[in-house]
A and B are shown apart, each in its own frame.
Chain A
Amino acid sequence: MKRGLPIVLLALAVPVIALLPLPDFWIAQLNYIGLYALVSLGLVLLTGVGGLTSFGQAAFVGIGAYTTAWLTLNTGMSPWLTLFVGLALTAISALIVGVITLRMSGHYLPLATIAWGLSLYYLMGNLDALGKYDGLLGLKSLSIGGINLGQGRLFFVLCWAIVIASAVALLNLLDSRPGRAIRSLKGGTQMAEAMGINTFRYKVTIFFIAALFAAVAGWLLAHFQRTVNPSAFGLKMGIEYLFMTVVGGVGYVWGAIVGAGLVKLLDDWLQVALPALIGTSGSYEVIVFGVVLVLVLKYLPEGLWSVVARRFPKPDRVVDWADADDLPVRAKPQNGERVLVIDSIRKQFGGLVAVNDISFDIAAGQIVGLIGPNGAGKSTTFNLITGVLSKTSGRVTFRGEDVSALPSREISRKGMARTFQHVKLIADMTMLENVAMGAYTRGRSGVLSSMLRTNRAEERRLMKEAQRQLERIGMGNYLHEQVGNLAMGQQRLMEIARALCCDPALLLLDEPAAGLRHLEKQALAAVLRQLQGEGMSILLVEHDMDLVMDVCDQLVVMEFGTLLTRGTPAEVQANPAVRAAYLGTEH
């Protein structure tokens, strides 16, 4: 399916529906569906893409609705102005809730939004100025230049124009530099941080965007219904928004619209059918909703849209960046410069000394191998150097700068790139997109320019760089392959290409040859030498001794967290202590 096809179809459907002689009831239904879909779109970004969730979206809808209701009724302000007041208030509350909770593990945000949704609901229901539980009545409809948009067809066009525009903006965002960063959030933050991405900021950002979508929906809802009261903004509604998104397909932008439509229609039907069946009135539909929610999560966790999406796989990205400018490169270290100086770094986990005062250094253009038996502390040393773990003591100097106390994303920005022992990748992104994440710090386009698609020139430059690095590593034939479908060795090579995209001065490779076949290993050795020839320094953790002895200039041998010896491959091979460490002592 062409990427833009559903958008075009939907955009065409809106005026057609508006002109069709549908009963007003159905137009009103479609208006509600549009409003709900708008809120759900925010949840797709937050929950489906970002792996966070909120039960408080209804509260943000409420802020948007009550702001415009109170201001237009009491001050006579134009609704087109109150929209922005509502957005501002929503923004402030979302930032407060987000900043407070998002530093902690993922389940605190939903918990905070439950509490936040409840307290806002009771606040709206008890404030005299907001009409208590009766709410505010007698709002005006929206109008543009004297034309009343009313509650019918004109409102329908406005509402759905906003929904479609939001959906397009989201799709654009997801396919961009910040979008790739957002898509990395769900799989843990380590890799993204190592690529220089401030994951906390992106978590707050997506919560913020989702809240603003909800606030716009609230503003529309207030002028559509012409009354507001707390019941539409309670926790139950907040949960229902999440329900719509999950049923439709939490990872899909179009799932939000499908889910909103289905749930609204089902809701209306059940509210009539169930009381008739049971014989007394009451909101029994929640039973069905609850059961359906559990069933969907069990048997169709990707939601209904996933069935459609599976049928129409995404076409390959059009390669249109051949003539794009190259990205700027950083000044590489001069010959003889000491790129990395490690001065007695130490890591203790409680009583266990995992890394015991290790010191060594790496000169420009040098390949240093860090070897040792399993459990020697090699990967921990890696994590200490790259700032993934904090050091108990010791000092790391990178290109003359003390980076001991910096977080991994700052260190990465200074030109130190790494791969991981256990590959960390985003399985549902293509090779090209994964590798482009490495170039994150070399671009600057933000969320807004990505939504508006004014970031294209930069995107082309990033993609060109990603393709260049993939070809360099011999993976030029797999540009559009989903990374999750590839073999382990290929995924490791992808990680190297991603690290190269950072334009590093120092490359840290954690077992790059694990899972590679013989020819691939030879190719890897050739690439490493080529990089060395370009002045790059490389630190290598590897168990394949042929490769290590072949490419390394210097070896550092660790055992039980301590430095056993260091020297050239020949010296190390001849060292009896190293033999003992690997093979045991001879008696």
Chain B
Amino acid sequence: MDFSIAGILLLDGVTNGAVYALLGLATVLVFTVTRVIFIPQGEFVTYGALTLAMMQTGKTPGTVWLLLILAGVASLMEMTERWRHHGNTGRAVMAGLKTLAFPLAIALLSIWAASQQFPLWVQAALSAAIVAAFGPLVYRVAYQSLEAATPLVLLIVSVGVHFAMTGLGLLFFGAEGFRNPAFWDERFALGPVALGGQAVIIFGVSLALIVLLWLYFEKTLRGKALRATAVNRTGARLMGISTHASGQLTFLMAALIGGLSGLLIGPTTTVFYDSGFLIGLKGFVAAVIAGLSSYPGALVGALFVGIVEAFGAFWASAFKEVIVFTLVLPILLVRSLRSGHSDEDH
């Protein structure tokens, strides 16, 4: 291996690492606020990439229909729950419509836009919006009534959601893989290494998102409310912060981050209906490195995972997944030795 190969691998690793970082951040975000270990994070990546791919072909993406179905279910659940609670039909219907409104608007817009052959970036923005709309609905349908359950139960629910979302991905996108066109074809020479425009976009978007997240949590009241929910749910509720709303907001952000990651990664690799799982899990490894609690830790961890993967692929390409996922064990060992006893009561 000479210097230029190392440079290429490093760049490759950092590029992928930037995407894993986003997914790792989303994982940490969801876990700290809701205690949900969100395995299906990767499915949002797939949905994002494939929704755009469908739009490119001028068809209405299957995710739109799925979104409508899910929104219908969520709004029915919201309606019955409100009705049982208050017995007021008018308010129940209003609550149901409120749940339905945003997804319905996005779905209708997408159906209209799908046949219009809009420029790439418009389609990308729509795809991100569609995927983002899934977040609160998934939370509403699968998790909301289990908010008080143990992390273990929530984890098993996550696995169920992952199964369902993968299967639905197959149903709505088919088994065929897609590779999206690059957002920016420019190439820059950095010595022996060529930096692609897509990589620049990946860095830029990742960095921007990380800064936005930081600003959100540090500077806005809503962000502080989410952090409060993360620290103490009961306390947050007593302060008038709704855990339902916090959960849905968190999932909205996670889904948006997932969808954007899918858009970013779409032009660099062929995405199949089940590709998201592995991509998401690598973000996961990054989050585990950070102990599921530290945002900067997840960022560093993600870059590390990306680089290990790139070099692993070069030296032993068949075993690159083995290397990346076995990495978790020594990392956990170090964490376990460092943390000592952390016996906690549930």
Contacts and interface: CB of A to CB of B under 8 A. Distances in A.
Given A193-B343, A290-B164, A297 B153 contact: yes
B335 interface: yes
B341 A103 contact: yes
B284 to A, nearest CB: 7
Contacts of A285: 167
Contacts of B329: 96-97, 100, 112, 115-116
A116 B159 contact: no
Interface stretch (A141-149, A276-284, A396-404): A276-284
Contacts of B171: 278, 282, 284, 287
B321 A190 contact: no
Nearest to B143: A294
A286 interface: yes
B39 to A, nearest CB: 8
Contacts of B161: 290, 294
Contacts of A52: 152
Interface string A50-78: 01110100000000000000000000000
A298 interface: yes
A409 to B, nearest CB: 11
Interface string A293-311: 1100110010000000000
Interface in B303-345: 318-319, 321-329, 332-333, 335-336, 339-345
A25 B185 CA distance: 58
Contacts of B345: 187-190
B170 A282 contact: yes
A122 B321 contact: yes
A199 interface: yes
A118 B328 CA distance: 11
Contacts of A290: 159-167
A287 B167 CA distance: 5
A74 to B, nearest CB: 21
Contacts, number: 159
Would you call the interface of chain B mostly helix, strand, loop, or mixed? helix
Nearest to B288: A111
A289 B166 CA distance: 11
A378 to B, nearest CB: 19
Contacts of A282: 170-171, 175
Given A119-B326, A284-B171, A104 B335 contact: yes
Contacts of A112: 328-329, 332
A284 B318 contact: no
Which of A193, A291, A294 has the most CB atoms of chain B within a 10 A radius of its CB?
Answer: A294
Would you call the interface of chain A mostly helix, strand, loop, or mixed? helix
B101 interface: no
B160 to A, nearest CB: 3
Contact of B332 (A53, A104, A239, A287): A104
A51 to B, nearest CB: 7
B311 to A, nearest CB: 16
B146 interface: yes
Contact of B159 (A51, A284, A293): A293
Which of B152, B157, B160, B323 has the most CB atoms of chain A within a 10 A radius of its CB?
Answer: B160
Contacts of B200: none
A122 B319 contact: yes
Given A116-B325, A298-B145, A101 B163 contact: no
Interface in A216-269: 239, 242-243, 246
B325 A286 contact: no
A100 B157 contact: no
B285 interface: yes
Contacts of B160: 243, 289-294, 297
Nearest to B159: A239
Q: How big is the B interface, by class?
A: 35 or more
A166 interface: no
B208 to A, nearest CB: 29
A201 interface: no
A294 B157 contact: yes
A533 interface: no
A286 B322 contact: no
B221 to A, nearest CB: 26
Nearest to B335: A104
Interface in B127-181: 142, 145-146, 149-153, 155-157, 159-168, 170-171, 174-175
A108 B155 contact: no
B281 interface: yes
Contacts of A242: 156, 159
A285 B170 CA distance: 11
Given A118-B281, A297-B157, A103 B37 contact: no
Interface string A82-126: 000000000000001100110111111011101110110011001
A382 to B, nearest CB: 16
Nearest to A119: B325
B186 to A, nearest CB: 35
Which of A101, A242, A293 has the most CB atoms of chain B within a 10 A radius of its CB?
Answer: A293
Contacts of A246: 156
9 contacts: A111-B328, A114-B281, A115-B329, A187-B345, A284-B171, A290-B161, A290-B167, A294-B161, A297-B149
Interface of B: 37, 39, 142, 145-146, 149-153, 155-157, 159-168, 170-171, 174-175, 278, 281, 284-285, 288, 292, 318-319, 321-329, 332-333, 335-336, 339-346
Given A107-B37, A111-B284, A287-B167, 14 more contacts: A53-B152, A96-B329, A97-B329, A108-B332, A115-B326, A123-B322, A187-B345, A187-B346, A243-B160, A282-B171, A284-B171, A289-B160, A297-B153, A297-B160
Closest 8 CB pairs of A and B: A290-B164, A290-B163, A293-B160, A287-B167, A188-B345, A115-B328, A119-B325, A286-B167
